[in-house]
Structure formats: structure tokens, C-alpha cells
Amino acid sequence: MEPQGEHVDDTSKLEFLRGTLDVLILKALVWGPLHGYAITNLIRRQSDDALILEEGTLYPALWRLENKGLLESEWGLSENNRKAKFYNVTPAGRRRLRNEMKTWEAYAAAVAKVLGATQPPLREELG
Amino acid sequence: MKPIPMWRRFDRLFGADRASDVKDELRFHIETKIDDLIAQGWKPEAARREAERQFGDLPAVQRMGEHIGKKIDRRKRVKDYWGDAMRDLRYAIRMLSKSPGFALVAVVTLALGIGANTAIFSAIDAVMFRPLPVVDQEHLVIFSWSARHEAKHLGMTDNGDCGDGYHCPVSAPFFNAVHGQSGIFSGVAAFSGPLEVDFSGNGPAGIAHGEYVSGDFFSTVGLKTYMGRALGPADDTPTSAPVVVLNHGYWQRAFGGDPSAVGSTVRLNGVEAAIVGIAEPGFNHLTPGKSQDFFMPLSLSMRVRSEWSGTKDHLQDPATFWVVIAARLKPGVSIKQAESVVTAIFRSQTIEATLFTENDAPVITFVPIQQGLSGESGSIAPMLNVIMAAVGFVLLIACANVAGLILARSAKRQKEMAMRQALGAGRARIIRQLLTESVLLSFGGGALGIVFAYLGVSAMTRMVESGFGEPFPFVIAPDLRVLAFTVAITLGTGILSGLAPTLRGSRSDLTRSLRENASSVPGGAHTGQRFRFGDVLVVLQVSLSIVVLVGAGLLVRTLLNLKAVNPGFDTQNLLLFGINPTMAEYKDQQMMHLYSELQERFAALPGVVSASYSDEALLAGGYSNDMVHLDGAQPKQNSETYVLSVGPQFFSTLRIPQLAGRAFNAADFTSTEETTAAIKAAEQAADKTATGSRAPPVPSHAKQGAAAPIPVIINEAFARKYFPKQNPIGMHFGNMDEDNPRVVVFRPGFQVVGIVGDTKYKDLKREIGPTMYSPLVGSHAYFELRVAGDPTAAINAVRKIVASTDSRLPIFDVRTQTQQIALTHFQERLLSRLSSFFAVLATALACIGLYGLLSYEVAMRTRELGIRMALGAQKRDLMKLVLRHGLLLSIGGVILGMAGAFGVTRFMASMLYNVRPNDPRTFMAVSGLLLLVALLACGIPALRAVRVNPLVALRSE
């Protein structure tokens, strides 16, 4: 998950990094199949409106994940009887989610350590 | 998501459409967003604009979606396809291993067809279509001349370069004149040879074959050197130091590849020459089938010469045609124009030399080099065509066999196919499954066939080389194009046969085939149909086999007939070898002494009964003939006769019966020597005045009585033909009566001193003709030693004697008379062997086909046979049933085959000896043989029919 560069827009809602998008999508679908619009809503609500997905990047991410075999798709009917494409996580996708979460947590912990430091690190012992 | 109603399921009836999928998905998103915005209070129009703005670049995302969608589809398709294919393959392997006999026979049949075909075609390709080892051969042409009438007093030396219908050798002055035409040609080269020379300076004296080439031969032809330098124009002048370039192969053989050979000096017939280079490997000769050991400049031809060169200076004489011209046209020059320029030169030269008149209109045409030089391949071509035909037939039979086998097998699986269809398999799926089996078989056959092809080619090469005597001049390598072709054909057959059954079935037949049991009613709709096609295949195979068998039979009989020919002399225990003292610069008198000394010493060897010599060995493929003028015949009416010069005791050594008169004695040899010397002296004098003054000299009839006629012995045929009512002994006849204003010398004629029995001369095939024997004077000689016991035991002693007499003299062509005859008739032996092999192969394949068909029939009719048995039929009756069908097919095939053979064998007439192409005995014998073998092939299925247990048969489904 390499940061591609970030900028804060004037509404000060965080924009998304690409790799993060994949793992968020996978997590969003853990509780059952959803269509694309519902995925954006879920993520927005779960982050308490902090994370708003750029819609132009959502669908390509979904298709790429499907191509890699981490998601599978099926056409169905939405709540308002419209034809919509529903996505579901595959076993491979679940495995990938677990791995990504571990990596993400380790990364976040490391960043937090550095940012939360109250004093510079001790001099290294020379030996 | 909500459950999908039924009608919605047909949305995807015509398959997924990625583009509209993406559109729908994105549209849904936008619409839902719009709904939400409207719910938040936006106006519909503004809501739509806001939704689209929030999304971003809609078309770009759409395109991305289609692209990714296509990738997904592709991957899915591939996965499905391979999954199915793997399953088919495993199933096919399982099914094939259940009937190993069928699989083995099919694979081996295919492999034999492919292997034999490739081997033969590669051989033919090497001999007939080999590309010449020169640069850019399309623009290299050979000069060929033709005229309305024969040329007068032309001295022509043809070394067997040109194909039939072309006259290639031309004169050296003509070459020089054309060589100067640099406006038309970018290179003009001449070559002649090869010439046998005494090659010494590298160990003991040996014989090497040298090719005369002009100075720019190497550059015109595009031949490069491996080491050292090529011959150049500076080497081809009358005064330049003699140099040679060695052939790469000869350098390896004779010099062991020693690099110090370049720069060393050798002697060619006594003339010192320096080796200046080695030619690049892989070049043998422009003419296919010929090879030479080294190249020497044309200008050396007066110094290093053969005994046939005569006394004329053939570098200057426009009436001696001995060089072949190969030229490269300048790009952009029109052929017609070039030909007319060259023709004009030729015409003026030949008319001035009185070879032709204006009326004869001699012309030069350019012939592409590939077409013009055919050399050996011209004589081998008909033989190869026959073999090609035989092999083609065998391939056809093999394909028919495989097709029949596969069809019979798939007929048995009709029920299985019907079941599959009923269970929902699509036609394509079934086809693919059947195809997998045939393709598997075909690939197996193809792989094995490639192995057979390589084996076949090496076997062919070995077989041909062992019979040929000298290194076979063509290199046979498996031709990949032919291999690909035959593999394609056999694969095609396998695949088509596998497809055939599916192309017929339709849905309506399903239920019927499901209801029928395995031993379906014979003559029922499908089985009956397939039955008949199988019959056709078997009849076809049998008829093709007959054709091949007849051909083989004729060729074998030819060989047997040849072996039974009485050659007219005793061919057993005779050792032959040749000596050519002219290479060591012996003069006539010296040669006489040498020969008589050698003859004495040979005859004194223990085990040698007698020794003699002649200028040709009998039955060695060589011969000489001449025209004579019988006393009392019309002027200019000459008679043809074979001629052979012989030494003392020739007839007694060879055991040719003396019928009248006497044999040659010492006085005969002496007088012949004197006469010959006198003739030569007169010729030389006449030549000198002729080339000097260019005016025809006055014929000198006055000298006619000055020398005695040459004593000759004639054979029976000569006596019968030319002296039918008189006693020939003591009779005289004259030399050829001809107009030869250029050189006229006295010719004393011949006198008959004896008559001997007829013998074959050139080979066993040619009819015996009038032959006259004269005492051998001043020529190379082939010695014949009659040995008590194995002739080869005397070889070492012979070499020692020759070496001790003169170490410069090599002996060559050492072999026994029996070996020589075998060599001379190598073609007949090869043809006989090859055609027999193919005949056996064809018959075996046809019988396998017959056997397969009948086995299948018995298997299909098990139930019926069981019923018949239960109703009281005897074993004999059941056997008769099966045998009758088999024999009917065989007889049909035989009749068809006879008709075919009748039409085809006439093309073989030139290769046969003493047996007509339509020889009835051969035809009868072959039919009988095939019917017998076919009977055996039918026998096994018939026996199997008999062993049917009626209870088991009736119960089986």
C-alpha cells in the first residue's frame, strides 16, 4: 500500500489512497452482497462521514478486484426494483482482506509511534 | 438483494454483453444518487447535474469498465476451455487404453505411412530437386547450342553435365569471345571435367579427379574459399604457374585436413602445381551427382591432359567442344538480346570453322542452371518416379486403413453418443470429445512417424551407398517440408474420420439408437450405411496393394531374368583393376613393355590361373563403338560395331570360346603398334598444317598402302551380320568412310584373323551386337586375373607387383567381376528390393484393414450369429458367412487392382528386362498370393464367429 500522494480538499474530508480503497471495499462486503452505490454509503456511514469515496475510482476498483478473483458479481434487483450489479467477496478475497488488515494495522501502529513520540530516540549504542 | 423474478432471467438470453453491463451499472448509480439528492431537496435537473459532477469523468470510467470486462470474459472462457479439454483428454486416453490393439495398429499404420513417405520423398528431393550450392542461382545460366543439322567433324567431349536435349559443351575460343562481352554478363565462367589425374606429392601416388575451370569461375559462381585463395584470372593464362584449389571433402580425406596443405606442391600427371586454397565445404559440383577433388585452371589443359585429348590444341581449336559455359547476366539486360549477341558470335565462329553452314542456323539458348545441369539425376529419375508412386499408394492405403478403423470403432459408440446428447451435451461438445481421440491417435502416429522417417532416411542412405560403390554423390536428409506434408495428411485423415460419425447423427436418430442394443440389427439404417463405406475402403486398399504387388513382381522378375542371363564368358573368380600409365607420361612403346611385364608377373602369382587386359572391363557400364566401311558397300554407307582393345590371352582368360581362326599373337601387337604410330604421325602433321594455314589440306591418298591393316577378331554377331554368306577369316573391311576435309589421313582398315563367341559388353541388359576386338596399344588398361579361389586374396600381391614395377602408378577400380556386375546393375537391384518392401507393406496394411472390418462385423452381428447357432446352424455355415463377405471384398479389390495395374505398369517398361509390363503370369501369381493372404486375414474373425456362445450372445445387450 504505497501512498500515491495526498491533498486535503477545502471541505477537509480526506481523499483516498488507492490501495486503501481495495481493502475498504473488501471489508464493506463482508456482511453480504452490495451494489456499488450501497458500498459508498456504507463506508461513509461507518467512518462517520470522514471517508467519502471518489465515485470515479470506485467502479474501476470493483472491476479490478473482480478480475483478480477477489470479488464475484451477479445481477439482481435493488430495493427500488432497478437492475443493479451486486458484488460478493470470494474466499480468496476474504484471505486477502485478512492479510491487508494485518499489514494496515502494523503500518498504522508504526506511524502512530513516530507521530506520538514525546522525545527524540536514544543514541544508538556503538559497539 | 431481492429474489429475481423468472422473466428477468431471460435478460441474458443472448449472452453477456459487457458494454451494456457497464452502462447499466453506472446508470443505476447515477439514478440512485439523483433520487437521494431529490430526497434532500434538490430540483430534478440540478440533481442530475450534481450527480454527474460528483461522479467525475463518466465516459472514461465506462471505457475502463469495458476494457476490464473484456479481460474478465477472456479469462473465463480460457479457463472453461482448458478444463473441458483436459477432461476430454483424460477420457480419450482411458478409452484408448481399453482397446490397445486398435490404438497400436492405428498409430503404427500412420507412422509407417508418414515414415516411408518422408524417407522416399527426401531421397527424391535430394537427387532431383537439390538446390545448387551457388549464390543466387536464378540468374546463372548455361549455354546450350542447337542447329538444324548435325555438325561436321566436330570433336565433342561430354562429361555428362547436361540434361537430355541440351548440348552444352562449346569450344574454348568461343568462350574467350563471349568472355569479353562485359556489357551483357557480369561474369562468364567455363568448366570441364572431371579428369582423372595421377596425383602425387601427398604420400603414395593416387588418382584424383580434377575439374578444369576458367579464371573467374569462383567469382562468377559465387564459390568461396575456406582457406587460402580462390583461382583468379591471373592463374588462367598459358604462362602462369600451375596452381590448384582443393575440394574441402578431398582435403579432409586425402590430407587429413592439414592446414599446411595450402602452399605445398603436388604433381599432376608429372606437372608441378601449388595448392593455393581450399574451397568452402558443401560444394561438390555444379552438376548434381558429380564431384571433383580439386580445381585447376583451363590453361593447364594442354599440360595436364588425358589420353583422349588428342594432338589438337583444344585451347585454340574452334572445332573441339569441351567446356561448359555458365554465365551470370547483368541485371536489366534482356535475355533475348543477350542470346542474339551470343548466337551471332557462335554462328560466325562455327561457320568459319566449317562446322556448320548458314543453312544449319546454329543458335545458342540460355538455360537456367538448375534445368540445364541434371547429370546423374536424369538416369535415376524414372526409377525414383516408380518408387514415389509406390509410396504414394502405401500412404493412401495407410490413411484408408486408419479411417476404416476409426469409423468402425465410432460406430460401436453410437449408443454412448446418443446418451450424451440426451443428457444435454451440445453437438460441439460431442464433436470435440470424439475429435480428441482421433487427434490423440494422429499425434501419436505423427510422433512415431517422425522417428520412422529419420530411421528410414538413414536406412535408405546406407542401402544406396552400399550398392553404389563410390561415395554416394547426394546427401539425403529428412526433408522437413515433406514431413510436414505427410503429417498433415495423416492428421487430416485421422481427424476427418473421427468427425464422420457426428456429422450424420441428428436428434431423431437419438431415440432409435438408445432403444437398439449393441448388437444392432445388421443392415439397419446407420450400421448398414457405415458398413458399406467400410467395404469401399477395404476394396480400395486391396486394389492399391495389387498395383504395388504387380509392380514389385515385375521388378523382381527383371532382376531374376538378369541374373539368369548368360554373359558369354566365365564371370566367376575374376579380379579386375585398372591402370593408366599415360598419367605417368608413358609413351606407347613403354606401355607395351609395361603391360607385358605386368602380365607375366601377374600370371606367375600363386593362385592366378591366367591374366590379360583390355581397354574396358566387361559388364562395367562402359563401352566404345565405331563405324566401319565394309568392302563392297556403297560409299558413305557405314556399319556400326562395338570395339574393344584387348591384350594377349584375353579370350582364354575370360573363357570366351574361339570359334574359328586364331587368337592374337605377338606379331599382331607389333604390327598394330606400327600402324597406329604411323596414323598418329600423319594426324599430327595434318593438324599442324590445318591450324596454321586455315586452308583445307590436300588429301594424301598416296600414303594409303604404307601400313598394314590392323588384325581384328570379330564375334559371331559381327560374322552373321556383316559376312553372312562368306567365311570372314582373312576378309578385309575399311575405316569409316566420311567427309573430313580438315584432316584426312590414310586408313589401312582391318583384317579378320579369328571369330569368337558372343559376349555381353556394356551390361547384361543390352542386346549383343557386332563386336570387333583389336590388339591393345597405347591406352589405359583394365587387367583381368583368373584366380583359383577367392579373387580378393590376390589384391595385395597385385599392388606390390605394380608398386615395385613403378611406384608412380596407382591402380584403381579394384573389384571382382561379380562385384562389378552387381554395381552395374545397382539400379535394378535397388528397385527390386525397395518395391518388394513396399509391396509387403501395402499387403500387410490391406490385410489389417480387411481383418479390422471383418472383426467389427462379427462383433456387431454377435447376436444374430448366436440366434443362428441356436436355430441349428453349423460352425461351418457361420464361417462361410464371414469368409464369403471377406472373399467377396478381396476379389473385388483384386479385379479393380488388376485393371489399375494394367494401366499403370506400362510406364515401367523401360526398367524391365525380358518381361512385358502386362505379363500374365505375374498378374496371376500376385492375385493368387493376395487372395491367400486375405483368406488368412479373414480366417481369424471367422474363427471368432464360430466360437460365439449362443447363450451369451443372446443375453448380451
pLDDT digits 0-9 by tens, B743-764 = 456 678 899 999 999 999 988 8
Identify the DSSP state of B571: -
Residues of chain A with C-beta less than 8 angstroms from the C-beta of B11: 75, 83
Residues of B in contact with A76 (CB under 8 A): 1-2, 4
Percent over 70 (pLDDT), chain B = 85
Task: Scan residues 2-31 of A and list those with Cβ closer than 8 Å to B.
Answer: none
- A 62-91 residues with CB below 8 A of B? 63-64, 66-67, 75-86
The Cα B729–Cα B661 span in angstroms is 6
Q: CA of A37: which chain B residue's CA is closest? A: B29
Query: Which chain A residues are Cβ-neighbours of B69 within 8 angstroms?
Result: 63
d(CA A82, nearest CA chain B) in Å:
7
For residue B952, the tally of other CB atoms under 10 A from its CB is 10
Q: What is the pLDDT of residue B522?
A: 40
In sequence order, which residues have a C-beta less than 8 Å from that of residue B604 and are 6 or more positions away?
Answer: none
> Residue B201 corresponds to which cell in the numbers above?
606429392
One-letter amino acid at B248 equals H
- Beta carbons of A86 and B1 less than 8 Å apart: yes
Question: Residues of B with CB below 8 A from A82's CB?
Answer: 28, 31-32
- Looking at per-residue pLDDT, the higher value among B380 and B891 belongs to B891
Residue B333's alpha-carbon distances to A2, B139, B215, B251, B327, in angstroms, are: 71, 11, 24, 39, 13
How many Cα atoms within 13 Å fall on the side-chain side of residue B940?
13
CA angle B684, B685, B688 (to 5 degrees): 85
Largest CA distance in chain B: 145
Alpha carbon of B218 to those of A88, B229, B312, B437, B557: distances in Å? Answer: 78, 10, 28, 57, 48
pLDDT of B127 higher than 80: no
Burial class of residue B587 in the structure, from the number of CB atoms within 10 Å of its CB (0-12 exposed, 13-18 middle, 19+ buried): exposed
Task: Report which residue type is found at B120.
Answer: I
Query: Does the beta-carbon distance from A33 to B1 stay under 8 Å?
Result: yes
Query: Over 60: is that where the pLDDT of B704 sits?
Result: no
With CA atoms as reference, the chain B residue closest to A61 would be B65
What's phi and psi for B342, nearest 5 deg?
-65, -40
Compute the average pLDDT of residues B201-214: 80
Q: What is the pLDDT of residue B529?
A: 47
Asked whether residue B55 carries a pLDDT value surpassing 90, the answer given is: no
Q: What is the tens place of the pLDDT at every residue in B912-932?
A: 888 888 889 989 999 999 888
At residue B650, the pLDDT reads 94
* Residues B473 and B290 sit within 8 Å (Cβ to Cβ): yes
pLDDT of residue B695 exceeding 50? no
- Please tell me the predicted confidence (pLDDT) of residue A14: 43
Under an 8 A CB cutoff, do A37 and B33 touch? Answer: yes
Query: Residue B914, Cβ neighbours under 10 Å: how many?
Result: 13
Residue type, B407: L
pLDDT of B417 > 70? The answer is yes
Q: How far is Cα A66 from Cα A60, in angstroms, rounded to an integer?
A: 10
* Cell matching residue B768: 549383343
Q: B878 with B938: CB under 8 angstroms?
A: no
* Cβ separation B33–A78 shorter than 8 A: no
Half-sphere exposure of B573 (CA within 13 A, CB side): 12
Contact B638, B738 (CB under 8 A): yes
Mutation target vs B (from A80, A81, A83, A88; most B CBs, 10 A cutoff): A83
Pair B385, B476: CB distance under 8 Å? no
What's phi and psi for B265, nearest 5 deg?
A: -115, 140
Q: Highest mean pLDDT: which of B146-150, B728-732, B875-879?
A: B728-732
Q: Apex CA B954: angle with CA B951 and CA B955, to 5°?
A: 85
Q: How would residue B825 be classed by pLDDT, with cut points 50, 70 and 90?
A: confident
Question: Which residue, B172, B905, B43, is CA-closest to B553?
Answer: B905
Q: Kind and range of the H or E element at B816?
A: strand B811-816
Within 10 angstroms of residue A111's Cβ, the number of other Cβ atoms is: 10
SS3 B918: coil
**Which residues have a Cβ under 8 Å from the Cβ of B41 and sit 6 or more positions away?**
none
Find out whether B329 and B181 touch, Cβ atoms under 8 Å.
Answer: no
Using only C-alpha atoms, what is the Rg of chain A? Answer: 18
Instruction: Provide the shortest C-alpha distance from residue B74 to chain A (in Å).
Output: 10
Give the gap in angstroms from C-alpha A98 to the nearest C-alpha of chain B. Answer: 24
- Mean residue pLDDT of chain B comes to 81
Average pLDDT score over residue span B463-472: 63
The reply to whether residue A78 touches residue B65, judged by beta carbons under 8 angstroms, is no
Instruction: Check residue B517 and give its pLDDT.
Output: 47
Residue B606: DSSP 8-state: T
- ipTM of the shown complex: 0.79
The residue-averaged pLDDT of B148-160 equals 75
Q: Do B65 and A59 touch (CB under 8 A)?
A: yes
Interface test with A, best of B22, B28, B37, B78 (most A CBs within 10 A): B28
Q: Is B944 helix (H, G, I), strand (E, B) or coil?
A: helix
Give the residue from A21, A63, A71, A81 with the most B CB atoms within 10 Å of its CB, the best one to mutate: A63
Cα→Cα distances B748→B49, B628, B635, B769, Å: 126, 12, 16, 24
Report pLDDT digits (tens) over B599-644: 999 999 988 999 999 998 999 888 888 888 888 888 778 888 999 9
Q: What is the 3-state secondary structure (H, E, C) of B664-710?
A: CCHHHHHHHHHHHHHHHHHHHHHHHHHHHHCCCCCCCHHHHHHCCCE
Among B255-269, B518-532, B807-821, B910-924, the range scoring the smallest mean pLDDT is: B518-532
- Express each pLDDT in B164-179 by its tens digit: 678 888 989 999 998 8
For chain B, what's the residue count? 957
**Higher pLDDT, residue B433 or B22:** B22
The residue written with cell numbers 469401399 in the block is B536
Given this model, what pLDDT does residue B515 score? Answer: 53
Q: How confident is the model at residue B713 (pLDDT cuts 50, 70, 90)?
A: very high
Which helix or strand (DSSP H or E) is residue B643 part of? strand B639-646
Beta-carbon separation of A55 and B29 below 8 A: yes
For A68, name the nearest residue in chain B, comparing CA atoms only. B72
| Chain B residue with Cα closest to A85 | B25
In this model, does residue B7 exceed pLDDT 70?
Answer: no
B249 three-state secondary structure: helix
Residue B806 has pLDDT above 70, yes or no: yes
Tell me which residue in A54, A59, A81 faces B25 most closely, judged by beta carbons.
A59
| Higher per-residue confidence, B17 vs B333 | B333
Interchain proximity B72–A63, CB inside 8 Å: yes
pLDDT band for A71, please (50, 70, 90 cuts). very high
| Cβ within 8 Å of residue B59, ≥6 positions away | none
Q: How many CB atoms lie within 10 A of CB B415?
A: 16
* Beta-strand pair B771-775/B639-646: parallel
Give how far the C-alpha of residue B761 lies from the chain's centroid of Cα atoms, to the nearest Å.
Answer: 27
Q: Is the pLDDT of residue B528 over 60?
A: no
Q: What is the mean pLDDT of residues B425-442?
A: 78
Whether A56 and B61 lie within 8 Å, measured CB to CB: yes
Residue B459: helix, strand or coil by DSSP? helix
Highest mean pLDDT, choosing among A90-99, B353-362, B669-678: A90-99
pLDDT of residue B269: 82
| Interchain CB distance below 8 Å, A37 and B28 | yes
User: What is the model's pLDDT at position B714?
Assistant: 93
Rg of chain B taking only CA atoms, in angstroms: 40
Paired strand residues for B366: B143
Helix (H, G, I), strand (E, B) or coil at A30: helix
Enumerate residues 88 to 127 of chain A having a beta carbon within 8 A of any beta carbon in chain B.
Answer: none
Indicate yes or no: pTM above 0.80: no
Lowest mean pLDDT among A6-10, B155-159, B322-326, B338-342: A6-10
Question: Model confidence over B232-281: pLDDT tens digits?
Answer: 888 888 888 899 999 888 888 788 888 888 888 888 887 889 999 998 88
Contact A36 B29 (CB under 8 A): yes
Rounded to 10 degrees, what is the CA torsion of B361, B364, B370, B374? 50
Backbone angles phi, psi at B735, to 5 degrees: -70, 175
C-beta separation of B594 from B586 below 8 A: yes
Q: Do A67 and B75 touch (CB under 8 A)?
A: yes
Q: Is B39 exposed, middle or buried (0-12, 13-18, 19+ CB in 10 A)?
A: exposed
Question: Of the candidates A33, A35, A64, which has its C-beta nearest B68's C-beta?
Answer: A64
CA distance B62 to chain A (A): 9
Identify the contact set of chain B against chain A, taking CB-CB distances under 8 A: 1-2, 4, 8, 11-12, 21, 24-26, 28-29, 31-33, 35, 54-57, 60-61, 64-65, 68-69, 71-72, 75
- List CB contacts (< 8 A) between B12 and chain A: 75
Of A12, A97, A100, nearest to A52 by C-alpha is A12
For residue B414, pLDDT over 60 is answered with yes
How many angstroms away from the CA of A50 is the closest CA of chain B? 17
Task: Give pLDDT, residue B699.
Answer: 45
Q: Among B429-443, B529-543, B738-752, B782-796, whose mean pLDDT is lowest?
A: B738-752
Closest chain B residue to the Cα of A41, Cα to Cα: B33
- The three-state secondary structure class of B184 is coil
Res. A2: pLDDT tops 50: no
B653 grid coordinates: 582368360
pLDDT class for B597, splitting at 50, 70, 90?
A: very high
A23 has pLDDT over 70: yes
Task: Respond yes or no on whether the N-terminal peptide bond of residue B194 is cis (omega within 30° of 0).
Answer: yes
Cα–Cα separations (whole angstroms), residue B266 to A81, B203, B947: 105, 10, 82
For the residues B506-533, what does the mean pLDDT come to?
Answer: 48
Q: Measured between alpha carbons, how far is B819 from B816 in angstroms, rounded to an integer?
A: 5
B12 and A75 in contact by Cβ < 8 A? yes
Q: Which three cell numbers stand for residue B303?
A: 599440360
